[in-house]
Amino acid sequence: MPGQSNLLIELQSVSYAYPGSQFPVLQDICLCVGRAEFISVIGPNGSGKSTLARIISGLLLPTGGRVLVDGMDTGTPKTRKDIRRRVGLVLQNPDNQLVAAVVEEDVAFGPENLCLPSAEVRRRVEDALNAVGLSQVRGRPPHMLSGGEKQRLAIAGLLALCPLCVVLDEPTSMLDPVGRQEVLQVLRHLSDSGTAVILITHHMDEAAGADRVWVLGKGGVLADDEPAAVFSRVKLLHELGLTSTSAGDLAYRLSERGLELPTGIVIMEDMIKYLCRVLK
């Protein structure tokens, strides 16, 4: 029943093994995404984050279990087009996604494929380019952009589709801190206005800005919780080759020296509050 419940995406005991490999990358995963929810996904290299992104957006079909998007099974061939419309994906390497010869055509590609009226396409392209700050280079060929500009372009292409859920695979890995912050604001705004956001990142301070964090590792989901809870589990994170946030890392290093800190200090503001209390 599309559009009914607050639940947008549901992974029911999902497993996935790549063809020709007997070891599943993901095993028996159960996860939910609510409408307008902002989720970040962290995990070591090779833990299956990109694989999960492709499964959620219907590009890969699970080898076990099933994925429901807005009530529709991604495994049903009939629904493929409806799912594409609802879930948009930005790939890890933006080069694999840039299709047109000119920046603005690249952004228009998606909405044109949805057969929208041309005035609507133009409006969406305009909005998307503005949102990522690329209006000035709209006439350029995409391969003449710098690395970070290409990443923004891929995001603009996604925004123009106005999906119900956006999945972004390390969209900020090449962005400078200001660009990174801008993209996060765009994503936060999207989520506030009703779009679910799934953000894959290796940048813990960025992940902490989400409503919820999934930690992938050892073939499964090792944590699915609020940022303050996840980034307080420093031992688990270290075991996986991850870290806490900068503030969480500082809290950990202070507690290793024997100080007793309250739990849940994972952002700068919390750290400052704590320090003011003990130092003033």
Q: Which residues bind other proteins (CB under 8 A)?
A: 18, 43-47, 50, 92-93, 95, 140, 144, 146-149, 152, 169-170, 173-180, 202, 204-205, 240-243, 246-247, 249-250, 253-254, 257, 259, 268, 271-272, 275-276, 278-280
- Quote the DSSP letter at residue 129: H
Q: Provide, rounded to whole angstroms, the least separation between the CB of residue 6 and ligand ATP.
A: 28
Confirm if 152 and 133 have CB atoms less than 8 A apart.
Answer: yes
Looking at the Cβ atoms of 137 and 164, the one nearer to ligand ATP is 137
Q: Provide, rounded to whole angstroms, the least separation between the CB of residue 202 and ligand ATP.
A: 7
User: Is the alpha carbon torsion for 83, 88, 92, 96 positive or negative?
Assistant: positive
What number of residues does the chain have? 280
205 binds, among ligand ATP, Mg ion, other proteins, none (CB under 5 to 8 A by kind): other proteins
Q: Provide, rounded to whole angstroms, the least separation between the CB of residue 234 and other proteins.
A: 12
Residue 71 sits at φ, ψ, to 5 deg, of 85, -5
Question: Does residue 144 belong to the site contacting ligand ATP (CB under 6 A)?
Answer: yes
Task: Look up residue 133 and give its amino acid.
Answer: G
Residue 174 token pair: 């090449």
Looking at the Cβ atoms of 150 and 212, the one nearer to Mg ion is 150
Looking at the Cβ atoms of 144 and 272, the one nearer to ligand ATP is 144
- Closest of 271, 121, 179 to residue 262, by C-alpha: 271
E-assigned strand segments in the chain: 7-16, 26-34, 38-42, 64-69, 72-73, 87-90, 165-169, 196-200, 212-217, 220-225
Looking at the Cβ atoms of 71 and 179, the one nearer to Mg ion is 179
Whose tokens are 């930005």? That residue is 90
The footprint of ligand ATP (CB under 6 A) covers 18, 21, 25, 43, 45-51, 92, 144-149, 174
